[in-house]
Amino acid sequence: MDSPVSDLAGQLRAARRVTVIAGAGLSAASGVPTFRGPGGLWRDFRPEELATAEAFERNPRLVWEWYDWRRQLISACRPNRAHEVLAAWNRRFARFALVTQNVDGLDERAGTTNVLRFHGSIWELSCFKRCEKAPESWRDDTAPFPELPPRCPHCGGLARPGVVWFGEAIDPGILQASREALACDVCLVVGTSAVVYPAAGLVLEAARLGAFTAEINPEPTEISGELDLAIAGKAEDVLDEVERLLSL
Ligand code: NAD
């Protein structure tokens, strides 16, 4: 009997349009902690207590200390085998899209070009008050910042991280491009606990549109039972195995 991994490789061999929906588990092997796994907590705060506009208004310094810590941590990390395989798929398939909830930028560093950053980027900053002079966002790789919180270089007010906080809307352009990417032959969900919507609902939409759907995650998730295939394993191991089969 075929193994789930060779089953997935077979589907991919016949595919032209591939969409991957990724979460924090994709970057776990690089050393970036997931929110819900070990190391996800920082000074006993849950991410939900820090990643909100209310938390920022209450205590911008505390929120920036958390982001500053994460930016330092991520800047010391390297893309892992899972990021590399997805970058190879970006080149292999006629149409490839990576919808990621990750904010770390490791996919771009691995060479993936079509990345739809659903939750923004930890390397972008914007003016918290959206002052008229500042661009919508700007790139800043400083880690750590010499002084916290960093300021908007245009109005001197508070700068904020360019990530989508709990309770905030996804960028409409990214949402639209992600929806368009759901019309695909294979839709693969990698390393997300599938509890943060609307990102978690995307793969079910791809299934409705006729895609073959699969999940790679060491743990079962709330949507495992609704997909064509659920592969229990780590992203870096399973993607490596699938890529070896594809390259035979
Ligand atoms: P999550 O922390 O809720 O879930 C992580 C999932 O990854 C779990 O289901 C876990 O079983 C799985 N996992 C752990 N190790 C894995 C591995 N080696 N291979 C495959 N899967 C593995 O994260 P989430 O679902 O992405 O959602 C939470 C939010 O957290 C997102 O909005 C995201 O922006 C943010 N976040 C981002 C990063 C990052 O940028 N790297 C890190 C942490 C959290």
Q: Which amino acid is at 244?
A: R
pLDDT at site 40: 78
* Cα 158 to ligand 1 centroid, rounded to whole Å: 28
* Residue nearest atom 3 of ligand 1, based on CA coordinates: 193
pLDDT tens column, 199-226: 668 999 999 999 999 999 999 999 999 9
pLDDT at site 2: 75
Residue 245 has pLDDT above 80, yes or no: yes
Q: Which of 117, 119, 160, 234 is catalytic?
A: 119
pLDDT at site 188: 97
| CB contact set of 247 (below 8 Å; sequence gap of 6+) | none
CATH of 1-31+79-119+170-248 given 3.40.50.1220, 1.10.357.10, 3.40.109.10, 3.40.50.300? 3.40.50.1220
Please provide the average confidence, as pLDDT, over all residues in the chain. Answer: 95
Task: Tell me the best of 26, 30, 35, 241 to mutate to test the pocket of ligand 1, counting ligand atoms within 8 Å of each CB and taking the most.
Answer: 35
Task: Tell me the best of 77, 192, 195 to mutate to test the pocket of ligand 1, counting ligand atoms within 8 Å of each CB and taking the most.
Answer: 192
Band (41; pLDDT cuts 50, 70, 90): confident
Active site residue 119: yes
DSSP code per residue over 165-202? PTTPPPPHHHHHHHHHHTSSSEEEEES--S-STTGGGH
pLDDT tens column, 222-238: 999 999 999 999 999 99
Domain ranges for the chain, please list them. 1-31+79-119+170-248, 33-76+122-163
Residue 196 has pLDDT above 70, yes or no: no
Which secondary structure element, helix H or strand E, spans residue 120, and what is its range?
strand 120-127
Q: Which residues pair with 163 in a beta bridge?
A: 120
Q: For a pLDDT cut of 70, what percent of the chain falls above it?
A: 98
Q: What is the mean pLDDT of residues 171-181?
A: 96
Residue 44 has pLDDT above 90, yes or no: no
Residue 181 has pLDDT above 70, yes or no: yes
Q: Does the domain spanning 33-76+122-163 belong to CATH 3.30.70.20? A: no
Strand pairing of 120-127 and 138-139?
A: antiparallel
* Cα 225 to ligand 1 centroid, rounded to whole Å: 19
Identify the residues whose C-beta falls under 6 Å from ligand 1.
23-25, 27-29, 32, 34-37, 101-104, 119, 191-193, 196, 216-219, 221, 234-235
pLDDT at site 30: 98
Band (43; pLDDT cuts 50, 70, 90): confident
